[in-house]
Amino acid sequence: MIRYLYKQPKLLFVGINPHFGSFDRGVPFSNNKLFWYLLSEAGLIKEEREELRDDKTLVRVYKERFNSVYGLGFVNIINRPTRDITGIKKHEELPGRKKISRIIKTEMPKVVCFVGKVTYEKYTGSKDFSFGWQENIGVSKAFVMHSPLRGKAIIRVRELQEIKRTIQSLYKTRRNVI
């Protein structure tokens, strides 16, 4: 089971639902770890790819540093694990939409990043959008990034770097804010 960490994050990642491997490990996106490698390459976390390959290190980074040190948060719309999104039942996301909206309203992250097109579709109920910046959700900027599971990694790294720069500019400092 994953204990989601999202206390007052600067950047809140929203996923659709966990894979069985991530669910068992207790760490979001840890089934193949690519998402974590992207966070590292984009400079959002300090741990290198080699360190993140070790499950114990990854669990420690998530539990001890992800939220409290890096100011990152994570939550899924649907908590139930599936092998892939085809295992999601029709309308299963509806309670999760309310949960995500409540978290965004109370925690007020600077940026909410929806991980993948399907995640944003399930949250908004609309397919009429493009990747990148969306309309704000309350006081939070919203961004839809490409799924970390398919395609060129450099695109995802650039998206994460763009989000990082935006957060830094919101804090009006170039110091290591995130």
**Per-residue confidence at 173, pLDDT binned at 50, 70, 90?**
low
Q: What is the pLDDT of residues 107-161, one digit of tens each?
A: 999 999 999 999 999 999 999 999 999 999 999 999 999 998 877 899 999 999 9
Percent of the chain at pLDDT above 90?
83
Q: Which residues pair with 74 in a beta bridge?
A: 13
pLDDT of amino acid 174: 47
**Lookup result for tokens 């290198």:** 48
Q: Which two tokens stand for residue 178?
A: 């995130």
**Lookup result for tokens 């999104």:** 85
pLDDT of amino acid 152: 86
Positive or negative: CA dihedral 51, 40, 14, 84 = negative
Distances (CA, A) of 129 to 21, 68, 118, 119: 30, 32, 11, 12
Domain 11-170 has CATH 3.40.50.280: no
Domain residue ranges of the chain, discontinuous segments joined by +: 11-170
**Mean pLDDT in the chain?**
93
